[in-house]
Amino acid sequence: MANNYFQFKQFRIIQEGAAMKVGTDGVLLGAWTPLKGAVRVLDVGTGTGLLALILAQREGGLKITALELDPSAVVQARTNVAASPWSDRIAVVEADFRSFARETTERFDLLICNPPYFQSGPTAACAARALARHAHELSPLDLLDGAARVLAPGGALALVLPALQWPDFERAALQRGWVLKQQLVVHPTPHKKATRILGCWGREAGAFLSEDLVLESGGRHVYSPEYLALTREFYLFA
């Protein structure tokens, strides 16, 4: 049985009632996302509050709005935020992103999202897990169009996707005028194909940076120096 919490160096994620537990994708996205110039951040689909807490630890000046649709996840995220050192800088809001994007007058410097995956195939037996893992409630187009409405000029959209879904998302983003600024291509081992891609998108043309990251370089749970360097401020083992 999985632990009902995940301990990081500076905070703890209680996840007993969470549909989606702490995973590599979320930690990588939170640790990697560029924060230069960001003050107002919108975390879409915060779940346990993981991304919001990682970003708050990384940068002391951030003001973070963490959106979550599932009421039980909202309770979990608020509990985790309240127990953290950064509760005064994170507001957990129960809301559907599509409605929020249409109604809010606030503009954000960064929108970060570990979005629903698995847009086809059988849904999860647990309704909350299905909501967290399927794109029935938040499609890639919803995310792109909503981000375009809520981001301030010069703002960025950061997300992580399975490598197999990346080409379709990239095509849709480019068609809607988004520009890929930075990406991290994640390989499980040195000789395996990429399984995840992290991307940071903007609306203005500029320089592009692409890097590769290997998770395990010396066998099971023998992590690469690059992965340890990226996550050392968070994981206990890094």
pLDDT tens-digit readout, 124-176: 444 444 444 443 468 889 999 999 999 999 999 999 999 999 999 999 999 99
DSSP assignment of 96-137 equals -HHHHHHH----EEEEEE------SSPPPSSHHHHHHH-TTS
The CATH number of the domain holding residue 31 is 3.40.50.150
- Termini Cα distance of the chain: 24
Report pLDDT for 3: 65
| Alpha-carbon gap, residue 168 to 11, rounded angstroms | 36
Total structural domains in the chain?
1
Report pLDDT for 218: 82
Q: Does residue 236 belong to any structural domain of this protein?
A: no
Burial group, residue 154, by CB count within 10 angstroms (0-12, 13-18, 19+): exposed
| Structural domain range at position 21 | 5-231
The encoded tokens of residue 126 equal 């647990």
Nearest Cα residue to 198 out of 187, 175, 206, 190: 187
Report pLDDT for 129: 46
| Alpha-carbon gap, residue 165 to 197, rounded angstroms | 9
Report pLDDT for 137: 66
Report pLDDT for 75: 94
Report pLDDT for 112: 98
Q: Does residue 154 belong to any structural domain of this protein?
A: yes
Q: Where are the beta strands (DSSP E) in the chain?
A: 5-7, 12-14, 40-44, 63-68, 90-94, 108-113, 151-162, 179-187, 196-202, 209-214
Q: Residue ranges of the chain with pLDDT lower than 50?
A: 1, 117-136
Write phi, then psi, for 14 (nearest 5 degrees). -80, 125
Q: Does residue 238 belong to any structural domain of this protein?
A: no
Nearest Cα residue to 126 out of 73, 88, 90, 87: 73
| Alpha-carbon gap, residue 85 to 76, rounded angstroms | 16
Residue 45 carries which DSSP code?
A: S
177 within 8 A of 203, measured Cβ to Cβ:
yes
* Number of helices (H), then strands (E), in the chain: 8, 10
Q: Does residue 81 belong to any structural domain of this protein?
A: yes
| Alpha-carbon gap, residue 187 to 181, rounded angstroms | 20
Q: Does residue 72 belong to any structural domain of this protein?
A: yes
Q: Does residue 12 belong to any structural domain of this protein?
A: yes
Q: Does residue 173 belong to any structural domain of this protein?
A: yes
With tokens 């924060």, the residue in question is 35
* Angle 149-152-154 from CA coordinates, rounded to 5°: 120
Q: Does residue 89 belong to any structural domain of this protein?
A: yes
User: What's the pTM value of the predicted model, to 2 decimals?
Assistant: 0.90
| Alpha-carbon gap, residue 170 to 159, rounded angstroms | 12
